[in-house]
C-alpha cells in the first residue's frame, strides 16, 4: 500500500539546491557502515530500513553527500529501504576519478547483496545518473571487456572486481555526464587560462553586442553566435585536455626516472599533481536565453540567478582538478562517464524522470538519454519541478514530491514491496 509524506517546510525557489525534506517514519532503523573497496579505499554509507522492506533503493553521487537527500524519507514512507553512499571523493572532487568511483559503488552493491535484500535498485539524481549508468555498463560486461585504465592511462582493476548487477534503475533529472555538462557550461571567451578576467569580446556571452540582456530579461543570441560559441567551447576543452595529458606525461616520465635512478627529486616530481585551475564554468547560453532548449526553467544557472556574476566566482564546476580527474570526470572529449555512451548497457527495468524546469537536463537531453537506454522495460515521466527537485512556483508541489509518487508506484509495480 502506498503511503504519503507531507513536506513540512516550503522548498526554496531559485537555484533550489537546499530542499527541506520530510521526517523519516518513526519505525526507521538507521545504521552507518564503513566499507572497503576492491582497491583498498574506505567509503561509508547509511542504511535506513523500515519493517518488511525487501527492496532497497541506493542513492549515490560522484561528488556529493546524499545522506539527507529529499527522496530518502519519501521512499522509506512507501515501504522501501534506502542506502545512501559517498565515494572516496565526497564533497571534494579535486581528485575525482570516475573509474575509481565505480569501485566505490561496487562496495555498496556487494554490501546490499550480503544483506539479502530481494531487490537492489539504483537511483541516480543529477550527476548520480551518469555514475550509475557507467556502473550498469561495466557491471553488465564480461570482466575482460571492462575498462582497464582511466583516460589518463592509470590502470584500474574493474576486471578483477565484483560488480553486482542491480535489479532496476531509476534516473531523476540526470544530466548527461559531468564532462558533457561542462562542455555546455564552460566559457570559451577565456583567452588566458591564468587570468580569470581575460575575455575575447567576440565570444563573450555577457556582452550586449552578442545578444546578452541585463537580467532578469532573457537574452537573445543569434544562431550564428550559438554555433560559434559551442564550437569554441569544444576547442577550449580540447586545449585543457592537452594540458592535462602533458602533465600526466611529465609525471610518468619522472616516475620512470625514479625507478631508474632512485633520485628523491624524481619521486617528488612524479607525485606532484599540478592541479588545473579552470576559470569561468557557469556560462551555458541557455541560462540567460530561455528561447534556447525551451522548458519551464527559471532564468539563471544551477548556482544562482546571475550567471553573469557566478561565472566569475569561486564556486563552480571543475574549478580545481588534478589532470587525472579532469580527463576522467570533466572532459567531455575524454571521459568514459557519458550517459548516452553508457545507456545502451542499462538493460534492467528502468524509470526515467525528467523535471520540466531542469537547468542541466534539457528536453533534447532527456530524449537522447531515454532513447539510448537499452532496457526493454523502460518508463518515462515528465513532471513539473527544477533540477534539484524544487517547485516551479511558490505554493506548488515540489518536483521531488511528485517524482517520489511516480517512483513509489513504479517500484511497487516492478518489485512489489
Q: Please state, in angstroms and rounded to a whole number, the distance separating the CA atoms of residues 328 and 93.
A: 11
Residues 223 and 270 in one domain: yes
Residues 100 and 119 in one domain: yes
Please state, for a pLDDT cut of 90, what percent of the chain lies above it. 87
The three grid cell numbers given for residue 82, joined into one nine-digit string:
534506502
| Full DSSP string of 7-73 | --SPPP-TT------PPPPTT-EEEEEEEE-TTS-EEEEEEEE-TT--EEEEEE-SSS--TT-THHH
**pLDDT, tens only, 339-384:** 999 999 999 999 999 999 999 999 999 999 999 999 999 999 999 9
Q: Give the torsion through C-alpha atoms of 172, 176, 177, 182, to 10 deg.
A: -120
Please state, for a pLDDT cut of 70, what percent of the chain lies above it. 95
Where among 276, 297, 330 does a domain terminate? 330
Q: What is the CATH number of the domain that holds 115?
A: 3.40.50.1820
**pLDDT, tens only, 286-308:** 999 999 999 999 999 999 999 99
**Domain span holding position 108:** 29-177+337-415
**pLDDT, tens only, 67-92:** 999 999 999 999 999 999 999 998 88
Number of domains comprising the chain? 2
What confidence score (pLDDT) does residue 19 get? 65
Contacts of 49 (CB under 8 A, 6+ apart): 28, 29, 56, 81
Residues 134 and 38 in one domain: yes
What confidence score (pLDDT) does residue 10 get? 30
Residues 218 and 348 in one domain: no
Residues 94 and 167 in one domain: yes
Where among 285, 304, 330 does a domain terminate? 330
What confidence score (pLDDT) does residue 92 get? 86
**pLDDT, tens only, 153-191:** 999 999 999 999 999 999 999 999 999 999 999 999 999
Residues 346 and 322 in one domain: no
What confidence score (pLDDT) does residue 133 get? 98
Amino acid at each position: 500500500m502506498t503511503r504519503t509524506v507531507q513536506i513540512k517546510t516550503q522548498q526554496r525557489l531559485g537555484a533550489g539546491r537546499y530542499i527541506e525534506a520530510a521526517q523519516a517514519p518513526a519505525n526507521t532503523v538507521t545504521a552507518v557502515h564503513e566499507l572497503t573497496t576492491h582497491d583498498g579505499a574506505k567509503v561509508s554509507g547509511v542504511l535506513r530500513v523500515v519493517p518488511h522492506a525487501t527492496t532497497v533503493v541506493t542513492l549515490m553521487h560522484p561528488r556529493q553527500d546524499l545522506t539527507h537527500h529529499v527522496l530518502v524519507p519519501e521512499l522509506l514512507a512507501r515501504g522501501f529501504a534506502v542506502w545512501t553512499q559517498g565515494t572516496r571523493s565526497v564533497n571534494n572532487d579535486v581528485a575525482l576519478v570516475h573509474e575509481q568511483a565505480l569501485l566505490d559503488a561496487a562496495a555498496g552493491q556487494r554490501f546490499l547483496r550480503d544483506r539479502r535484500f530481494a531487490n537492489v535498485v539504483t537511483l541516480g539524481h543529477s550527476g548520480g545518473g551518469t555514475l550509475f549508468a557507467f556502473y550498469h555498463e561495466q557491471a553488465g560486461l564480461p570482466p575482460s571487456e571492462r575498462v582497464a585504465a582511466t583516460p589518463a592511462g592509470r590502470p584500474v582493476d574493474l576486471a578483477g572486481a565484483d560488480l553486482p548487477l542491480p535489479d532496476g534503475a531509476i534516473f531523476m533529472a540526470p544530466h548527461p555526464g559531468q564532462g558533457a555538462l561542462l562542455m555546455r557550461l564552460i566559457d570559451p571567451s577565456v583567452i588566458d587560462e591564468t587570468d580569470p578576467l581575460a575575455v575575447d569580446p567576440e565570444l563573450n556571452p555577457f556582452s550586449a553586442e552578442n545578444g546578452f540582456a541585463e537580467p532578469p530579461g532573457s537574452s537573445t543570441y543569434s544562431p550564428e553566435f550559438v554555433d560559434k560559441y559551442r564550437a569554441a567551447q569544444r576547442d577550449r576543452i580540447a586545449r585543457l585536455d592537452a594540458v592535462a595529458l602533458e602533465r600526466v606525461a611529465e609525471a610518468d616520465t619522472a616516475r620512470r626516472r625514479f625507478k631508474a635512478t632512485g633520485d628523491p627529486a624524481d619521486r617528488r616530481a612524479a607525485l606532484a599533481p599540478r592541479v588545473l585551475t579552470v576559470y569561468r564554468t557557469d556560462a551555458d547560453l541557455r541560462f540567460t536565453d530561455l528561447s534556447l532548449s525551451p522548458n519551464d526553467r527559471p532564468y539563471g544557472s544551477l548556482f544562482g540567478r546571475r550567471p553573469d556574476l557566478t561565472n566569475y566566482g569561486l564556486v563552480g564546476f571543475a574549478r580545481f582538478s588534478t589532470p587525472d580527474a579532469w580527463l576522467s570526470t570533466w572532459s567531455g572529449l575524454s571521459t568514459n562517464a557519458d550517459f548516452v555512451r553508457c545507456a545502451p548497457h542499462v538493460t534492467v527495468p528502468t524509470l526515467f524522470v525528467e523535471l520540466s524546469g531542469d537547468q542541466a537536463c534539457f528536453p533534447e537531453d532527456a530524449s537522447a538519454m531515454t532513447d539510448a537506454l537499452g532496457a526493454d522495460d523502460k518508463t518515462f515521466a515528465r513532471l513539473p519541478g527544477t533540477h534539484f527537485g524544487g517547485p516551479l512556483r511558490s505554493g506548488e508541489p515540489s518536483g521531488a514530491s511528485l517524482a517520489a509518487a511516480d517512483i513509489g508506484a513504479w517500484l511497487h509495480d516492478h518489485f512489489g514491496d
